[in-house]
Structure 1
């Protein structure tokens, strides 16, 4: 039988793989010339989808803990959240650098003119204070109540990310619909759980 500490280490290793494997896959796509006619667009979409998936998984850790009671899930949640932030930051930087060639005139133009970019950028900005306060000392310095309220912004950021994808989509809405259903299910669980634990 595997003891609790070993299980936690194994789970954290799996979380590590969830952040690293997409980078290896993207590198393989680049080296094998499998990124299509527009590699920049492929990389932008890949990093964005990866970041949004990891962000929703981070939120899903809370209901998973509620249902299972296994503490290892909550121990690894910060790690997963930071990987989500990493990939969403990579998404923005890939768009700015590879797709827009750091042409700030066009970057600012698109930020003002394109609705989906404003939603995506707003969601990423909301994640910055969460990433900065993800360290173990932060809840004690801020106070647990303030820290918990701040980190509820992850729901707002995820909602903006899902809507960013929805507005960006032009033809096939299967993927954004799946993201939206998962996000709404997580929100409903959070609301119901909060109501039940107040009674």
Structure 2
């Protein structure tokens, strides 16, 4: 029988696996040439989808904690949030390097002229201060209230990410629709929970 500390350690290891194993699989597929006709596009899309999944999971950890009261969920929340940020940074770098070939003229052109690129860049930029202030010392320095308000930007970043995903989709809208529904459900839970808490 695992102790409470042991259960938290197992959960943290599961979060580590969720963040790292898909990257190893992607590297393995790239090495063996199993990423399809346009492997560069596959990498860009895979990193973006994984980043969005982990970002939604980060948001879902708060309702999960409210429903279960298990502290291990909140202990691992920062870990999975940083994994989401890492995957989305990888998504941006893959797009700039594998699709744009580090041609800064075209990168700037697409950022200005293509709405879905602007939404994606805006989402990532909103996550930068959240990643930089995700540590306990930052929370203590800012004060919990200011830190808490800042980290509500994760909902805005996730919404921009869902819009980015939706605008990139050409035929099968099941995944972006699912992502939008999950985000809407998480936001609704947060609003209802806040209203109940105030009362």
Tell me what 1:80 maps to. 80
Unaligned runs of 5+ in 1: none
TM-score (norm 2): 0.99
Tell me what 1:23 maps to. 23
Tell me what 1:167 maps to. 167
Partners of 2:161 and 2:95 in 1: CA distance: 15
Tell me what 2:137 maps to. 137
Tell me what 1:50 maps to. 50
Partners of 1:98 and 1:33 in 2: CA distance: 15
TM-score (norm 1): 0.99
Q: SS at the partner of 2:198?
A: coil
Tell me what 2:192 maps to. 192
Query: Structure 1: which 4+ aligned runs deviate by more than 3 Å?
Result: none
TM-superposition CA deviations, 1:95-121 (whole Å, max 9, x none): 001110000010011111111000010
Partners of 1:85 and 1:105 in 2: CA distance: 25
- Structure 1 segment 24-39 matched on structure 2, within 5 A: 24-39=24-39
TM-superposition CA deviations, 1:30-85 (whole Å, max 9, x none): 12211111111000000000000000000000000000000000000000000000
Deviation at 1:154, TM superposition (A): 0.3
Tell me what 1:8 maps to. 8
